[in-house]
Amino acid sequence: MTTHEPTSGGSSTRFDPWYDHYADRTAGLSASEVRALFAVASRPEVVSLAGGMPYVSALPSELVTGALDRVMRDHGPQALQYGSGQGTPELRERALEIMALEGIRGSVDDVVITTGSQQALDLVTKLFINPGDVILAEAPSYVGAIGVFRSYQAEIAHVLMDDDGLIPQALRDAITRLKADGKTIKFLYTIPTFHNPAGVTLSWERRLEILEICRANDILVLEDNPYGLLYFDSPPPNALRSIEEDGVIYLGTFSKTLAPGFRVGWALAPHAIREKLILANESATLCPSAFSQFAISEYLASADWKGQIDTFRGVYRGRRDAMLSALSEHLPEMSWTVPNGGFYVWLTLPSPLDSKEMLPRAVKELVAYTPGTAFYSDGGGRQKIRLSFCYPNEETIRTGIRRLTSVINEELELLDTFSSTGQMEVVRPNAHVTSPPPNIN
């Protein structure tokens, strides 16, 4: 056996002798704060308010095992075999039924089943992005999307949000600026409903306006909607895709309303794009898991899946309320968003606290969160924290917020000590605001 050794004259490192062989696009691959936190969250003594893991224990196991038994009994050979690169017709029909709850009409021919909506996000980016192309995305934006966009060497241009979601005028300004700089804008990526990480929802009026802006500027919209059915008090506005068919690709998933372990999502795309998505899907995985598709189709056909979604809503509503109550009790001088659905609260720290620098102290105090920097491509978000209420129970959430409060107070006391020597100015919030500040950039 011969061992490849880096030469002293090359730029390879002794830790990775193949460093010089990688494609340029691998420079965009990096471990996110979210990924690093999963190792921390697995420690039983740490209260994790970090990961967006659905509470799958609220799903009765007999519903799943019954569906799996019937799949093997009635469809075993097909479920264990290769399948279509587009997905089974049965599950594509079921996806249309689910999307109809948010006002979407479509053809079963235009649905493509994928390995989670994350793969759909990757496939769309692969189809459209050349190195240096621009993707418009909310500020903040989903960390998993940022990772995908970077891996294809896209330039991410963040657009400001407020408590009604993406700001239309900010979108106009960003488009004008980028076009003046000679940039090529390929699409707008948006999570309009129960945003990750901000928790806010794009208003109906803004949905109409943003679609008009994109239509006028020939910009495709990529609508990511993992949480839309998980509302608490009232249903959100209908999906962007319900308004515009030719200019919107819609991404859906069963990870939040059933279970992420199946790894099944879908894309509803305009007809021409659909064809290329199928080809890209076949190139990437040959075909999505037939077994998972049969299992989900059987579950949707035999279980009260709408009732189960309502059960999830009740669980997450109670946990959201516990988090908001604990924040009001322990951190009344700070500001945060109040979501009507989904998994997340977006907390603003007082200046000059830094959520990323504060994280090691938090872990030492046995509480974990996701620093806001994970959700920006440009280093922003240092005063922001994403708090997830979906997985821990209500008492654990209260414990986590108490621990987080101790960490924040210790940091402020330390900074007060420095400021008293004239080395640093500490700016404390002076009002209790339980809705987002004017913008959440």
In this structure, are 138 and 220 located in the same domain?
Answer: yes
pLDDT value for 13: 58
In this structure, are 54 and 173 located in the same domain?
Answer: no
- Mean pLDDT in residue range 21-49: 73
The rounded distance, in Å, linking the Cα atoms of 312 and 5 is 54
- How high is the mean pLDDT of the chain? 90
Q: How many domains does the chain have?
A: 2
- What is the DSSP-derived secondary structure letter of residue 222? E
pLDDT value for 441: 38
Residue 149 has pLDDT above 90, yes or no: yes
The rounded distance, in Å, linking the Cα atoms of 257 and 306 is 9
What confidence category does residue 420 fall into, taking pLDDT thresholds of 50, 70 and 90? low
- State which of 302, 336, 366 marks the end of a domain: 302
In this structure, are 193 and 295 located in the same domain?
Answer: yes
Look up the domain containing 350 and give its range. 25-58+307-417
- What is the DSSP-derived secondary structure letter of residue 435? S
- State which of 247, 278, 302 marks the end of a domain: 302
CATH number for position 191? 3.40.640.10
Share of the chain above pLDDT 70, in %: 88
In this structure, are 380 and 239 located in the same domain?
Answer: no
9 falls within a domain: no
Least confident span in 276-290, 399-413, 415-429: 415-429
- State which of 302, 321, 354 marks the end of a domain: 302
The rounded distance, in Å, linking the Cα atoms of 112 and 252 is 10
15 falls within a domain: no
- Mean pLDDT in residue range 378-387: 95
pLDDT value for 308: 96
What confidence category does residue 21 fall into, taking pLDDT thresholds of 50, 70 and 90? confident
pLDDT value for 81: 94
CATH number for position 397? 3.90.1150.10
List Cα–Cα distances, 292 to 107, 113, 184, 298, in angstroms: 22, 11, 38, 10
93-114 pLDDT, tens digit per residue, is 999 999 999 999 999 999 999 9
- Per-residue DSSP letters for 328-369? HHH-TTSEE---SBSSEEEEEPPTT--HHHHHHHHHHTTEE-
In this structure, are 73 and 186 located in the same domain?
Answer: yes
265 falls within a domain: yes
Contact between residue 205 and residue 351 where contact means Cβ atoms under 8 Å apart: no
pLDDT value for 17: 83
Dihedral over Cα of 373, 376, 381, 386: its sign: negative
List Cα–Cα distances, 401 to 33, 332, 369, in angstroms: 20, 12, 10
In this structure, are 381 and 334 located in the same domain?
Answer: yes
- Mean pLDDT in residue range 243-269: 96
Dihedral over Cα of 134, 139, 141, 147: its sign: positive
253 compared with 12, residue with greater pLDDT: 253
What confidence category does residue 435 fall into, taking pLDDT thresholds of 50, 70 and 90? very low
17 falls within a domain: no
The pair of three-digit structure tokens given for residue 265, joined into one six-digit string: 């999502």
Residue 410 has pLDDT above 60, yes or no: yes
365 falls within a domain: yes
268 falls within a domain: yes
Residue 437 has pLDDT above 60, yes or no: no
The rounded distance, in Å, linking the Cα atoms of 385 and 393 is 20
User: What phi, psi does 140 have (nearest 5°)?
Assistant: -85, 180
In this structure, are 247 and 349 located in the same domain?
Answer: no
pLDDT value for 51: 87
Measured at the alpha carbon of residue 378, what is the angle toward residues 22 and 35, in degrees to the nearest 5? 60
171-225 pLDDT, tens digit per residue, is 999 999 999 999 999 999 999 999 999 999 999 999 999 999 999 999 999 999 9
The pair of three-digit structure tokens given for residue 192, joined into one six-digit string: 């309009």
Closest Cα partner for 246 from 106, 102, 92? 106
List Cα–Cα distances, 260 to 56, 154, 253, in angstroms: 9, 27, 9
7 falls within a domain: no
pLDDT value for 431: 34
Share of the chain above pLDDT 90, in %: 81
8 falls within a domain: no
Residue 389 has pLDDT above 50, yes or no: yes
In this structure, are 206 and 115 located in the same domain?
Answer: yes
Measured at the alpha carbon of residue 254, what is the angle toward residues 250 and 258, in degrees to the nearest 5? 155
The answer, as to whether pTM is greater than 0.85, is yes
In this structure, are 279 and 311 located in the same domain?
Answer: no
In this structure, are 129 and 174 located in the same domain?
Answer: yes
In this structure, are 246 and 337 located in the same domain?
Answer: no
In this structure, are 314 and 377 located in the same domain?
Answer: yes
Contact between residue 273 and residue 249 where contact means Cβ atoms under 8 Å apart: yes
